[in-house]
Chains A and B, each alone.
Chain A
Amino acid sequence: MAKVNPDFAKQLTGIESAGNLNYCYQCSACVQECPAALRFSEFNPREIVLSTLLGVADELTGKNSVIWQCATCYNCYERCPQGTRPIEVVTALKNLAFQLGNAPEQISALRESVITSGTITALSDSMKKRREQLGVPKISLPEEGSLKKILGG
């Protein structure tokens, strides 16, 4: 039996506007044009908002959660008549999942790459050569570790 945690929603980040949960009247406008909902029966923005509101979100912030299937298309943001912004709720849940160590490996690796080298992908020798052949200017990459300083550690 799932345990209800009425204080759960307070854990969501307040940086983005994921806080309009209480306005949701469960109309499903967010579901109709959701590309992820069309392909995953478990991905339902309306239900994600409800589960978050009720605080029965362990599965959503757990390993292999369906939240990582969000296309980030913002259709739900536009279509919601109540300003609930389900996509921001999904992002806030992703943040919690990451903090719990439950984010998929690819996500953690990508984040690590950006934080360490400043880019999502390294500059390979063949790409360097291709850039030279095309005649585009030499690329200026950030200094290794420069972002760690401003991220505080």
Chain B
Amino acid sequence: MAQIELTLFPGCMIPLRYPQIEKAARFFFNAAGLGIIDAEGFTCCPEPWNVKGAGLAEWLTIATWNLCVAEKHSRDVVTLCNGCYSTLKEAQRIISINGEATKEIISRIKSTGLPEPGTLRILHVAHLISELWEPLISKSIKKRPEGANIAIHHGCHLLRPAEIMEFDNPFEPSILEQIIDSIGATPTLYRGYTDCCGRALLDREKSLDIASAKLESIKEAGADCIVVLCPACFEQLDLGQIEIKRKTKKVFDLPVFHFCQLLALACGAVPNDLGFEYHRVPAGDFLSRFFS
């Protein structure tokens, strides 16, 4: 029986588009001795740029619904996605400071039989990793990718606004870099380190232009791979490389992993079991160099 239990907020992009990330996350949680509760009734968080752009009140209502569903299980909540993290954290803050706007929403949700949203902690898996690294997770590391140069792309909504996300310095993060360092790899610093991946821009050409600038900088800095914390950033930097190649002939060949995939491998997962064939940029070369 695991000593620490958390409710998994899976979101929709990972389970419906990138289940290989979910697979790796579950492997990692299990290997590290973290118990996971799968709750019923969660919906899209909802996504914090388009759905929120259409209507803040609706966005807040659905986010509050998800907080109430989580409340039923009385465990802190872990997300694998910056969008989910940002939405749930921000909704929690609005509830705490703007009772007037949320009173009616909460009473409507309570009438369906759900509890009031309380004080559960919303944790991005990055947060969880850093908090539990020393007492717990570091003990489960079996394979160290010695010498791998790993470029972290945090993604905006993990770092900003710092006063709400409460994770790391919004422009000079260092927490995940220490984790990379302690599994024997080198965190690669690069120009535009905390820049956006560009995913949210409606204009696809300009959106890819932003991704391309980021990829170019990562390539120049000599990274062997990119590690992300969010499925939207994952899609933008993985699938994005194929789109950029088609449009501009630029080739980066930078495999992209979710941080949980990297940690699952470090905890001893067999690469062939984790579905890396579903990544658009082939990961085989990196995997055989550092995790064979």
Give chain A's interface residues, CB within 8 Å of chain B. Answer: 13-16, 35-36, 39-40, 68-75, 77-78, 91-92, 94-95, 98-99, 103-104, 106-108, 110-111, 114-115, 118-123, 127, 130-131, 133-137, 139-140, 142, 146-147, 149-152
Contacts and interface: CB of A to CB of B under 8 A. Distances in A.
B56 A140 contact: no
B161 A111 contact: no
B189 interface: no
A35 B210 contact: yes
A68 B203 CA distance: 9
Contacts, number: 172
Nearest to A64: B202
Given A103-B53, A114-B51, A127-B17, A78 B162 contact: yes
Given A130-B278, A136-B23, A39 B62 contact: no
A69 B202 contact: yes
B98 interface: yes
A77 B47 contact: no
Given A15-B94, A77-B160, 16 more contacts: A13-B57, A14-B101, A35-B195, A40-B206, A69-B201, A70-B200, A72-B49, A75-B160, A77-B161, A78-B160, A95-B56, A114-B44, A114-B47, A121-B16, A146-B41, A147-B43
Interface in B59-95: 60-62, 65, 94
Nearest to A68: B202
B20 interface: yes
A149 B12 CA distance: 20
A39 B48 contact: no
A111 B58 contact: yes
A103 B52 CA distance: 12
Given A71-B210, A114-B62, A119 B54 contact: no
B15 interface: yes
B234 interface: no
B19 interface: yes
A95 B209 CA distance: 27
A61 to B, nearest CB: 12
Contacts of A110: 47, 50-51, 54
Interface in B2-49: 10, 12-13, 15-17, 19-20, 22-23, 26, 38-44, 46-49
